[in-house]
A and B are shown apart, each in its own frame.
Chain A
């Protein structure tokens, strides 16, 4: 209960901060939105040139990509700052100030740095999802419930990725290119899974379940998945738990000397 209260207090603080610099907030949101909606442009251009992903219409692929954007935004709001704040503290040797707080360090960093600037991306993704879904059609109540469950699972995967990145920064001090590694892996989750070979499909569904971020929820919404597919929630939760465990485990490697 105490943690929930702290979480909402931090969200309130983030909103108040954004309200103090309104123009900065609006522009920041706009730029974040623009920089994250570029990749659907490739899909639009591919279809505009008369080609296609076999078995998928343009709107179906765009639905996958817009759900991916929404999931990405949600994870960014909750955990997006954990990597940079952790990296900063480790580099300057000031992580003790976090460890001294009477809270879980991970919870404290995530809440205190709630990233309200990703709200624009979330709303943009939501708008794209609604537009795409209006062209593809949705599969009724079951589909929507499955979509919501799988969407939350996808956001859990994205949070897991953020935490693993932050955990790595305890060992690989000050490497600002860590996110690039994971951004490249996320690419596998932005397209219909069937275009990749079996090994990649297994990897992106079970080991690093990035397919659960956009592909599974969007497919559920379109009625392309049956109830058995809900089993894919399991690797997502395990992945998030692994991220939390790894982050807490890596805190023990913190030496307090900067780097």
Chain B
């Protein structure tokens, strides 16, 4: 068992390292975030400064809390960003996925290892510079109040994003062109992940429905955990409850991806489309 785990870790390290080196050639792409992230943050800052005005609390959140939320949300985005869906669709459509079926490594594990390498690069060239800008330049209290819970929640968001995107990527086994599905998911994700506005601003019914969909587990819950709010959403979940729920959602997404993979692989013709 230990040998198996050790071998998996070595494989993951090797793929992640190669991906890191490969994408290092395009590190200026990552550095775009150092401009874009703070600009979006400034816009949010002024919007919410105007909106809060005399209001002490909106959507159950105070002004400082909302600002911290948007900072955390941006930083979480850099740590969990993923394009496994696009990558897998491209491999299936071009028929190149065949080379992965011949390798002694599950493609999903390979893709996860790639994502780890890619996000390590994101950590150095996007996350850290933006964290410093938020903390030192904008004076936002951006250091998580509960570091352990935050790390766990962000790790779960990382996995959630990956598994959901991988499931979306597998639609390429069923449709000739599955771009539309990806775009629609991204669209819904933008609205319901809480990246544009915290979900606590949505009506209660919508918040309840969101419990059963993957969106909030990729951004809203980790951002709320990051800000240290111990009453998350309309349901008033504590941080441990929210992270536990996130864990259950990740397990469900992982199982779903395995079921879809087993069904999909039977349809793979290896000739592209």
Contact = CB atoms under 8 A, between A and B. Distances in A.
A and B physically associate:
yes
Interface of A: 27, 31, 34-35, 38-39, 41-42, 45-46, 48-54, 172, 175-178, 180-181, 183-185, 187-188, 191, 195-197, 200
Q: Is the interface of B mostly helix, strand, loop or mixed?
A: helix
Contact of B32 (A38, A45, A177): A177
Contacts of B52: 51
B264 interface: no
B54 to A, nearest CB: 9
B148 interface: no
Contact of A41 (B43, B47, B186, B191): B191
A51 B55 contact: yes
Q: Is the interface of A mostly helix, strand, loop or mixed?
A: helix
30 contacts: A27-B180, A31-B184, A38-B191, A41-B191, A41-B196, A41-B197, A42-B197, A46-B51, A46-B58, A46-B197, A46-B201, A48-B203, A49-B59, A50-B58, A51-B51, A51-B52, A51-B55, A51-B58, A53-B50, A53-B51, A175-B28, A176-B29, A177-B32, A180-B32, A181-B35, A181-B36, A183-B36, A188-B43, A195-B49, A195-B50
A208 B32 CA distance: 19
A195 B46 CA distance: 6
A187 B50 contact: no
Contacts of B190: 35, 38
Interface residues of B, number: 30
B28 A187 contact: no
Interface of B: 28-29, 32, 35-36, 39-40, 43, 46-47, 49-53, 55, 58-59, 180, 183-184, 186-187, 190-191, 196-197, 201-203
A37 to B, nearest CB: 10
Contacts of A48: 201, 203
B187 A38 contact: yes
B55 A185 contact: no
Given A41-B191, A175-B32, A195 B58 contact: no
Contacts of B202: 45
A39 B271 CA distance: 41
A187 B201 contact: no
Nearest to A194: B50
Given A31-B184, A41-B196, A42-B196, A50 B55 contact: yes
Nearest to A47: B51
A188 B44 CA distance: 10
B36 to A, nearest CB: 5
A172 to B, nearest CB: 8
Nearest to A176: B29
A68 to B, nearest CB: 14
Contacts, number: 80
Contacts of B35: 181, 184
A187 B196 contact: no
A153 to B, nearest CB: 22
Nearest to A183: B36
B191 A187 contact: no
Nearest to A32: B183
A195 B45 CA distance: 10
Contact of A45 (B29, B46, B183, B201): B201
Given A45-B197, A51-B53, A177 B187 contact: no
Nearest to A187: B43
A175 B25 CA distance: 12
A39 B185 CA distance: 16
B25 to A, nearest CB: 11
**5 closest A-B pairs (Cβ-Cβ)?**
A195-B50, A184-B39, A177-B32, A187-B43, A45-B201
Given A42-B196, A49-B59, A181-B36, A196 B180 contact: no
Contacts of A172: 28
B196 A38 contact: yes
A171 to B, nearest CB: 11
A109 B53 CA distance: 47
A34 B59 CA distance: 25
Which residue among A54, A176, A184, A196 has the maximum number of chain B CB atoms within 10 Å of its CB?
A184
Given A50-B58, A51-B58, A188-B43, A35 B197 contact: no
Contacts of B43: 184, 187-188, 191
A199 to B, nearest CB: 11
Nearest to B203: A48
Given A180-B36, A188-B43, 4 more contacts: A50-B55, A175-B29, A178-B32, A191-B43
Given A54-B53, A181-B32, A49 B201 contact: yes
Contacts of B47: 191, 195
Contacts of A176: 29
Nearest to B60: A49
B118 to A, nearest CB: 14
